[in-house]
Amino acid sequence: MILILGGTGEARALASRVPAVSSLAGRVSNPALPAGEVRIGGFGGVDGLAQWLRDNDVHAVVDATHPFARQITSNAFEACSRVGVPLLILRRPGFTPQPGWRWVDSVADAARDLPGERVFLTTGRQDLAEFAECPQWFLARMVEPPEPPMPHRVEVLLSRGPFTVDGELELMRSHEIDVLVTKDSGGSMTSAKLEAARQLGVPVVIVRRPPLPPAETVADVDAAVSWLDTAGA
């Protein structure tokens, strides 16, 4: 059996090409489901995942989670190392750096000494609390409704990509955005906001990706399929 971790576009594309069980975290109420068998929910940390790999005779694991899903990637590396199951990390390339971007190491760093007065925030609902004490006004876009704490002055926009440059230009103009805060998630579904910011001359604060464990890593689905063929999975 092959286990694919994650509900990303890359994970769904891979599931459409190889027989596998896909595992979704279950944080989104109405996720786009991949082809084939799907399980939803956590494994119970490293111990639970290691036991699941043993119980289900898993021959290979592909971690195709979001680039900022640090915990499950760490758990997958530890569990696969413990059980002796090959692990591949499938990560889309990050955004192409542009002049003037301010790179930070964490969302907390982004919230610290944040420039501007009207912020377009696209780091996700789980990070909204980091900005709770910031005095700026925020337009916070996310897929699912957030829970407190959150900034005192915030407008929540529930929306799911892909987004267009024209749409992002209109959104940023109409809300008089003067700084964009985002993550280096990569991919085409959410890159339009960066082009819109460039055209409008809006500064960008961008959070670097967390480091990956020392596992084999590829950048696209074709390479993942080739790795699985080579691994005999």
Does 233 score more than 80 pLDDT? no
What is the pLDDT, as a whole number, of residue 187?
85
What is the pLDDT, as a whole number, of residue 203?
96
Q: What is the pLDDT of residues 131-141, one digit of tens each?
A: 999 999 999 99
Please give the average per-residue pLDDT across 91-119, as a whole number: 94
Question: Could you tell me what percent of the chain has a pLDDT over 90?
Answer: 88
User: What gap in Å lies between CA 127 and CA 149, rounded to an integer?
Assistant: 10
What is the pLDDT, as a whole number, of residue 118?
98
Does 31 score more than 70 pLDDT? yes
What is the pLDDT, as a whole number, of residue 232?
66
Q: What is the pLDDT of residues 146-201, one digit of tens each?
A: 999 999 999 999 998 899 999 999 999 999 999 999 999 998 888 999 999 999 99
Query: What's the mean per-residue pLDDT of the chain?
Result: 94
User: What gap in Å lies between CA 114 and CA 109, rounded to an integer?
Assistant: 9
Question: Could you tell me what percent of the chain has a pLDDT over 70?
Answer: 98
User: E strands within the chain?
Assistant: 2-5, 21-24, 37-40, 60-63, 87-90, 102-104, 118-121, 137-142, 154-158, 179-183, 204-207, 216-218
What is the pLDDT, as a whole number, of residue 214?
96
What is the pLDDT, as a whole number, of residue 147?
92
Does 27 score more than 90 pLDDT? no
Please give the average per-residue pLDDT across 7-12, as a whole number: 93
Please give the average per-residue pLDDT across 192-213, as a whole number: 96
Does 29 score more than 70 pLDDT? no
What is the pLDDT, as a whole number, of residue 26?
73
Lowest mean pLDDT among 28-32, 204-208, 211-215: 28-32
Sheet strands side by side (includes 204-207): 102-104, 204-207, 179-183, 118-121, 137-142, 154-158
Element (H, E) at 72: helix 70-83
